[in-house]
Amino acid sequence: MKDILLNLIEKYNWLILFYFLGINGTYILLNILSFFAIKRYLKERKTTELERIFQSPFFEPISIIAPAYNEEATIAQSVQSLLHLQYPQHEVVVVNDGSKDNTMQVLIERYGMVSAPITYPSQIGCKKIKEVYVSPEYPNLVMVDKENGGKGDAMNAGVNVSRYPLVCFIDADSLLESDALLKVVRPFLEDPTTIGVGGIVRIVNGCKVESGQVTEVGIPKNSLARFQIVEYLRAFLFGRTGWDVINGMLIISGAFGLFSKEAVVECGGYRSDTVGEDMDFTVRLHRIMREKKREYRMTFIADPVCWTEVPEKLKTLSGQRNRWQRGLIDTMLFNMKMLFNPKYGIVGLFAMPFFFFFEMLGPIAELTGYIVFFVSWYFNIVNFTFALFFLLAAIVLGIVLSMGSLVLEELSFRRYPKIRHLVTLFAYAVLENFGYRQLNTWWRFRGFLDHILGKKGWGKMERKGFQTIKG
């Protein structure tokens, strides 16, 4: 019995070694690909005259869809920022998804919104729309009041009411930079097969906001938010950019993504029975396009910025990570037939397996890795010093990868203006490996268990509101 156990543990140790090599090898590859992609983008950007785009009356108009659930703290500023975006023609559709707070009243009062029974084609299924409001002061602002049905359902309602051929989904608690639409629309002009584009999501905590725009980029005082800055830079700058290079991007964030409305409708919109609606939607788009043998491209640009508020409390953050994990599992299982299926090209053969084995099963591998490490040590299967060094190597490699994204940031967009900002981020790139990372693994593991137990909820997100400048 003991022999069998020891044999199993030894095999597991090998598995962990391959897991380590696989995940980090892919990350290094993504880092390298991102470096060249961002370099290329920055060069090409020089010849794109944004002013010309802004003046051009021929750009396809965009409907911005902002689902809102209990967003009274930030909704007015967010909408103000959306209304003043630079773009030839756009409308803002705020979907109040049955908020229990004063989200709707805030908008009605601030923008003088009045009820307007607008007719719209019901192209995608969604919960009952109770009323549509328009603002006589801002004819390009529409508010949809509907029964609560979840974020995906709210997005679908927004698509139904929207008027324009391109739809941009953003979180109602986020702020878009004034030229974000002009930048994010570029791939639609350059490549006729484009059906979706994602932009970078950056953290607004610690930044100063004036009239719905970030006027001074800073680092938050809260440690959890600081860890998340490092995480977001890693996820977007080298994660998304790298996957984009090989056309294997499996997620366009629900916080900021631009899609062809035709493709959204063709795909049947967002699923309302999942908590990972954005990833599920992106994967399904891949699936449908490939099944229909349609030439298509979904891409990511690291330049158009969406600023978002991140949780500063452990409880809220754990809930968010738990939800992300459940969303990931749900998406993977729902689209299981794509896994290792050559019919789905690079998505089926590389991206899906990576997300399945390394992202979805990652917390299990990591957590059991820690347990097996101690068991192996106890039974003297593995040289303790070696194992310790192995763990150390994994940590340092993680730090190197985080540093890689900071290098990318500094080579390209340089949003953090002061050296002390960078030094702080370095420190947090190191510190995250001692406690934060393990916590994250635990939250994700809990997400795994909750998924098995059938938990469906979103958890509660507490909003502080943006840090505004008193004028």
Query: Residues in the site for another protein, rule: CB under 8 A?
Result: 10, 13-14, 43-44, 46-47, 52-53, 56-60, 114, 116-119, 132, 134, 136, 139, 163, 188-192, 380-383, 385-387, 389-390, 392-393, 396-397, 399-400, 403-404, 406-407, 410-411, 414, 419, 422-423, 426
Identify which of residues 60 and 210 has a Cβ nearer to another protein in the complex: 60
Identify which of residues 288 and 397 has a Cβ nearer to another protein in the complex: 397
DSSP state of 14: H
Identify which of residues 189 and 346 has a Cβ nearer to another protein in the complex: 189
Residue of 185, 81, 92 whose CA lies nearest to 133: 92
The residues that bridge with 306 in the sheet, in sequence order, are: 176, 201
* CB-neighbour burial class of residue 63 (10 A; exposed 0-12, middle 13-18, buried 19+): buried
- The Cα 257–Cα 246 span in angstroms is 19
DSSP state of 251: -
The residues that bridge with 92 in the sheet, in sequence order, are: 64, 141
Indicate the helix (H) or strand (E) that contains 130: strand 129-134
Identify which of residues 44 and 216 has a Cβ nearer to another protein in the complex: 44
Identify which of residues 114 and 452 has a Cβ nearer to another protein in the complex: 114
User: 167 and 147 in contact (C-beta within 8 Å)?
Assistant: no
Shortest distance (Å) from residue 39 CB to another protein: 10
Tell me whether strands 141-146 and 256-260 are parallel, antiparallel or unpaired: unpaired
Identify which of residues 131 and 210 has a Cβ nearer to another protein in the complex: 131
Q: What single letter denotes the amino acid at residue 304?
A: P
Identify which of residues 7 and 211 has a Cβ nearer to another protein in the complex: 7
Shortest distance (Å) from residue 149 CB to another protein: 24
Shortest distance (Å) from residue 79 CB to another protein: 18
CA dihedral (236, 188, 144, 330) positive or negative: negative
Q: What single letter denotes the amino acid at residue 224?
A: L
Identify which of residues 250 and 258 has a Cβ nearer to another protein in the complex: 258
Mark 362-381 as b/e (b = at least 16 C-beta within 10 Å). bbebbbbbeebbebbeeeeb
Shortest distance (Å) from residue 433 CB to another protein: 12
Identify which of residues 349 and 422 has a Cβ nearer to another protein in the complex: 422
Shortest distance (Å) from residue 132 CB to another protein: 8
Q: What single letter denotes the amino acid at residue 290?
A: R
SS (H, E, C) 343-399: HHHHHHHHHHHHHHHHHHCHHHHHHHHHHHHHHHHHCCCCCHHHHHHHHHHHHHHHH
DSSP state of 470: P
User: 215 and 81 in contact (C-beta within 8 Å)?
Assistant: no
Residue of 219, 416, 435 whose CA lies nearest to 312: 219
Identify which of residues 386 and 453 has a Cβ nearer to another protein in the complex: 386
Shortest distance (Å) from residue 227 CB to another protein: 18
Residues present in the chain in total: 471
Shortest distance (Å) from residue 49 CB to another protein: 8
Shortest distance (Å) from residue 200 CB to another protein: 18
Shortest distance (Å) from residue 144 CB to another protein: 13
Max alpha carbon distance in the chain (Å)? 78
* CB-neighbour burial class of residue 18 (10 A; exposed 0-12, middle 13-18, buried 19+): exposed
Shortest distance (Å) from residue 121 CB to another protein: 9
Q: How far is CA 108 from CA 102, 125, 126, 135, 160, in A?
A: 10, 26, 23, 8, 21
User: 65 and 168 in contact (C-beta within 8 Å)?
Assistant: yes
User: 124 and 154 in contact (C-beta within 8 Å)?
Assistant: no
Shortest distance (Å) from residue 303 CB to another protein: 16
Shortest distance (Å) from residue 388 CB to another protein: 9
Identify which of residues 129 and 422 has a Cβ nearer to another protein in the complex: 422
Identify which of residues 96 and 322 has a Cβ nearer to another protein in the complex: 96
